[in-house]
Amino acid sequence: MSTVIRHASAVKPISVPVNNTVASDNWDRVQAFNPATSQPLEKLYEIGRLAKTATAKELLEASLSISQLEYGTIDSYLQLAGLSAEPVAGLTLANFSSAKTDFYLPGKDEFGGTVEQTLWMQKMALDSVGIEMSANERITRSFELSGSFMKIAKDANKDLIFVSDTVPSGEDVDYEIDLSDPAPVVDPNNAGVYILQAYRVSLLGVATELTSADYTYTHVGTTLSINTVTTGDNIRVWYTSATYGSAGDPTALNDADDFYIKADNVTVTLEDGTNSAITLSKLTSLSIQATLNRNDEGAIGDNEKLFNEVESYDVAVSLGGFVKDAPIQEALMTQAGQSWGIIDYSLFSSVDIIVKIYKESSKATFMIGYKITGCEFSDDSTSYNANEFGENPCSLNSDNLLITSVIGNL
């Protein structure tokens, strides 16, 4: 039933890798999708005048927080990395470094109803990934992204259209793409502008953003002509329309994959590099937080933060559990499983943490895994409260995270 305000059942996130030759995809099992926008500004004054002279606006700041149930697939990670398949050795944080992802959120009047507007977040960069689990509860993922652009497409421009076209052999100049189904609608903010974003990605994976100098769009013939192309170039185009055309609604429900996976289906092991790996059987909680530290700077002569490169990676791991036989600390002594007599914190080394997630609690079918190598001790604490069991949470840190759907990569 249509309502005057929008219900969460009437929206579904879709992502489009911007600077890679990867198809768009729906995001499934999302629990929270929270875009936000802020406009940094400064009021300017001068000596000898009471009132402000002007307001200086800085680049727009857009952010996106996503919470998703872990359901055993790597699809979301591939979208954020701009990859159509997992690399042979698995995904590392470096795979997300230069990738840019558009997110758009068609908003309907009701579930399965008519689109009223579309929220469009452009060129978002991944800032952090989190994996959280507690005993007997559902596993969750979280993602934080940032960018400089946010748009709401509505009324005559309510549907955001993405077109991907690969240049066949024999084409080099004035390559034409038919945009008649559906036809672009003019940007009401810029007279004569129909194409809102366009990229050319070469066979070698070099992405170039196209400007109006690189193409010509003829609205009468709904034809986009790219000035110069090379065989195998992938042309990626975004525009708005009042209809989705014959392709129909891009949102789709996924009833094939699991809806969630609980921590019951997980094994967590530690390796000290010397002894056999040990399984942490008394963990009550596990948190992995990987952060991509970006420089996030603009350039003179450009209204976009061009320098959004990763300077370093931080991975924080928190392990929660009861006090018993100090298996984590023993492994940090490079004495995993050795019943070591004295644990000396000043002698700690590093460990590797491997998290394997299975389809079932019997752990027969592997789904997805996470591996952090070179984890160093950060801190731990012990707490005893009257008439309760003692707790001993421990924190480690590293600079890498491997994500894979292939158990052999762990």
> Residue 80 is inside which H or E element, if any?
helix 75-81
Residues with Cβ within 8 Å of residue 341, at least 6 apart in sequence = none
Residues with Cβ within 8 Å of residue 208, at least 6 apart in sequence = 199, 200, 201, 202
The Cα 344–Cα 399 span in angstroms is: 24
Looking at residue 1, what is its pLDDT? 58
Looking at residue 225, what is its pLDDT? 97
Looking at residue 309, what is its pLDDT? 87
C-beta of residue 301 within 8 angstroms of C-beta of residue 285: no
Looking at residue 205, what is its pLDDT? 93
> Looking at residue 246, what DSSP letter applies?
G
Residues with Cβ within 8 Å of residue 349, at least 6 apart in sequence = 272, 273, 332, 333, 334
Q: What's the Cα-to-Cα distance from 148 to each of 59, 102, 114, rounded to whole Å?
A: 7, 11, 29
Looking at residue 59, what is its pLDDT? 87
Looking at residue 37, what is its pLDDT? 95
Enumerate residue ranges in the chain where pLDDT < 50.
Answer: none
- Reference 329, options 390, 339, 384; nearest CA is 339
Looking at residue 297, what is its pLDDT? 72
> Looking at residue 28, what DSSP letter applies?
-
C-beta of residue 128 within 8 angstroms of C-beta of residue 291: yes
Looking at residue 266, what is its pLDDT? 98
Q: How far is CA 116 from the centre of its chain?
A: 26
Q: What is the pTM of this model?
A: 0.93
Looking at residue 308, what is its pLDDT? 76
Residue 230 identity: T
Are β-strands 173-178 and 234-241 bridged in parallel, bridged antiparallel, or unpaired? unpaired
Tens digits of per-residue pLDDT, 252-294?
A: 999 999 999 999 999 999 999 999 999 999 999 999 999 999 9
Looking at residue 407, what is its pLDDT? 97
Looking at residue 80, what is its pLDDT? 98
Residue 402 identity: L
Are β-strands 223-228 and 140-147 bridged in parallel, bridged antiparallel, or unpaired? unpaired
Looking at residue 257, what is its pLDDT? 95
